[in-house]
Amino acid sequence: MKVPELPYRRVTIEEVTAVMEDVIPRIQNAGSVEEILKAREDYLKLYLEYATNASLASMRYTINTVDEFYVAENDYYDEIGPKVGNYMVKYAAALLDSPFRAELEQALSPVLFRSMELSRKSMSEAIVEDMVEENKLTRRYSDLMSGMEFCFRGETMPRSTLMKYAKDADRATRRECYEVLGRGLEAHKAELDEIFDELVKVRDRMAKKMGYQNFVELGYYRMGRLCYDQEKVKTFRENVLRDVVPVVARLRTENARRLGIEDYHFYDDGVIIPGGDPAPRGKEEIFAAAKAMYHAMGKETGAFIDLMMDNEAFDVESRKNKWGGGYCTEFAKFKQPFILANFNGTAGDVDVMTHEAGHALNAYLIADNRFALELGCGGMETAETHSMSMEFFAWPYMESFFGADAERYKFMHALESFSFIPYGTMVDAFQHIVYEHPELTPDERDAAWLKLEEAFRPHISFEGMPYLDKGTRWQYQMHIYESPFYYIDYCLAQTAAFQFLMASLKDYDEAFARYLHLSKQGGEKVWTDLLEEAGFPSPFTPGALKELAAQVEALLEKLR
């Protein structure tokens, strides 16, 4: 069935309450494992309906954030979501505390029970109203950013369209783009600061109600991290600062000189290739090339792309009142992934067909897994490994997207991807500072961001950039507002993706088979175990990134 035709219905809190208040006592009072598993089936039927319809409401809201019906539906799920989450934690607690737990773990999955333990640590009935407030604040931010318009050279446009000029070959155009961006954001400074102030306060309040020192610990539990903690992430950040930052700074500075740039400014960071970064062909050509690519990769990937295209599972045009980011979601009841993006004529349009399609392919591959509904693909670092690795597995097919510019694209893609690791790690470090010190003022937060810029991206100057030179770049990184502590997952996944790239350059078929095997396992194995199985080192040991940084630098020199 085509995505626009998928039936939607509101799953009410009354419906959820009726099922959960039947299921939970049945588990608590069960006399056998079989009785518990039977109650679990009723829970899964409800969860399937709820997850599918909440996802449909969210998707239809993001494609038009002023659609009154789906605005109301999305508001409804924001309102009841914490209450539903609380029921799910009570359900998990009933299983965790069951006298039959050992037999249940054997019948189901130890990883599933570890996941439930984290969910219990991340939720309490005492914070339900705070979570509702948090949802309203993140929605307010999303609405503000999606409705924001910028006037560039007499034309009014959303930020997603404006940012295509950030990659223009003309330096004056790039600078003007960021000047327009800075002034546009500054006009909304008061509201941006107010929303984030309130988010920090409500998140800190939730953590303290649950007995945590601050939101950092709660934030990690909410991310469902099963194989690493704050100390391991700290080691990763140290690895990045020591072994990746100097290499990126050197590579970007040397590349800027080849572009004729001696004074590297923020508005220079979007262009890598002399004469301008390669631009892909139009939308129809991109879709045709993607279809041919996935069919060439194999039968499974070919069937996947046919499903996506036949079912109109894409929305990629940039327009006013459309959510400004990109994502992949799925409608579990229909086993249908969906991709939203905002094409703007840059190479990022192709990345959508590889990165987001990497997520979608994984959803397709695990749709029939035993625990797909409860565990999904695993942690977000695993999810991003699927997507970022697919970007690199697409390299042999880049000529279909970029023609004679295919090799230039590869150089640009590899350098941008490697440069992302310090930036993404900086986002994570910023969030630790913010939530460890919730009393910081807006100006103090901005100062903290500027200090991190100096440490993680020492080659970039913000001098003369309206508003952005005050340390406000973080305000349009939506994850900081909407998904705290998510961003480090991209960085971790990027290291794994580069490992797959290096393996594919030696033996593409063998590396791709390893990738598919990793993807098909879903959430039944944690990320570090999946890495070990794929033959890759953990990035959490001191010095783990030194060899990878040297390999990437050598590859970039060869590509250049």
pLDDT digits (tens, 9 = 90+) for 127-162: 999 999 999 999 999 999 988 999 999 999 999 889
At residue 425 the predicted structure's pLDDT band, cuts being 50, 70 and 90, is: very high
Q: How far apart are CA 51 and CA 496, in angstroms?
A: 29
- Residue 324: pLDDT over 90: no
Domain extent for 12: 3-121
Per-residue pLDDT, 325: 79
Average pLDDT over residues 7-13: 98
Per-residue pLDDT, 281: 83
- CB-hemisphere CA count at 13 Å for 17? 6
Instruction: Give residue-wise pLDDT tens across range 235-278.
Output: 999 999 999 999 999 999 999 999 999 999 999 998 998 887 88
Average pLDDT over residues 420-443: 98
Residue at token pair 């960071």: 269
Per-residue pLDDT, 386: 97
At residue 318 the predicted structure's pLDDT band, cuts being 50, 70 and 90, is: confident
Percent of the chain with pLDDT over 90: 93
**Average predicted confidence (pLDDT) for the chain:** 96
At residue 295 the predicted structure's pLDDT band, cuts being 50, 70 and 90, is: very high
- Helix 380-393 / helix 487-506 crossing angle, nearest 10 deg: 40
**Residue 454 falls inside a structural domain:** no
Q: How far apart are CA 112 and CA 29, in angstroms?
A: 21
Residue at token pair 């991310």: 223
Q: How far apart are CA 215 and CA 200, in angstroms?
A: 9
Q: Could you give the strand order of the β-sheet that contains 314-317, starting from the edge strand earlier in sequence?
A: 314-317, 336-343, 327-331
Per-residue pLDDT, 279: 86
Residue at token pair 């998990």: 92
Residue 265 in tokens? 């400014």
Average pLDDT over residues 371-384: 95
Q: Which helix (H) or strand (E) holds 329?
A: strand 327-331
Q: How far apart are CA 47 and CA 333, in angstroms?
A: 10
Per-residue pLDDT, 549: 97
- β-strands 314-317, 149-152: how paired? unpaired
Assess contact for 331 and 52: CB atoms under 8 A.
yes
Residue at token pair 């219905």: 9
Per-residue pLDDT, 380: 94
**Residue 100 falls inside a structural domain:** yes
Instruction: Give residue-wise pLDDT tens across range 498-511.
Output: 999 999 999 999 99
- Residue 347: pLDDT over 90: no
Per-residue pLDDT, 220: 97
Per-residue pLDDT, 389: 98
Residue 154 in tokens? 């007499």
Q: How far apart are CA 20 and CA 517, in angstroms?
A: 36
Q: How far apart are CA 46 and CA 366, in angstroms?
A: 20
**Residue 96 falls inside a structural domain:** yes
**Residue 272 falls inside a structural domain:** no
- More reliable by pLDDT, 203 or 169: 203
3-state secondary structure of 330: strand
At residue 348 the predicted structure's pLDDT band, cuts being 50, 70 and 90, is: confident
Assess contact for 385 and 518: CB atoms under 8 A.
yes
Per-residue pLDDT, 498: 98
Q: Which of 324-328, 417-421, 494-498 is least confident?
A: 324-328
CB burial class (10 A; 0-12, 13-18, 19+) of residue 102?
A: exposed
Per-residue pLDDT, 352: 86
At residue 320 the predicted structure's pLDDT band, cuts being 50, 70 and 90, is: confident
Q: Which residues contact 297 (CB under 8 A, 6 or more apart)?
A: 393, 512
3-state secondary structure of 316: strand
**Residue 505 falls inside a structural domain:** no
DSSP bridge partners of 337? 330
Percent of the chain with pLDDT over 70: 100
**Residue 8 falls inside a structural domain:** yes
Average pLDDT over residues 170-193: 97
**Residue 193 falls inside a structural domain:** no
DSSP bridge partners of 442? none
Q: How far apart are CA 479 and CA 205, in angstroms?
A: 20
Average pLDDT over residues 306-318: 96
Closest by CA position to 394, among listed 493, 508, 553 = 508
Residue at token pair 């499974």: 300
Assess contact for 146 and 324: CB atoms under 8 A.
yes
Region of 319 please: left (phi>0), alpha (psi -120 to 50) or beta: beta
- Residue 490: pLDDT over 90: yes
Residue 383 in tokens? 């999810």
User: pTM of the prediction?
Assistant: 0.92
**Residue 520 falls inside a structural domain:** no
Domain total for the chain?
A: 1
DSSP 240: I
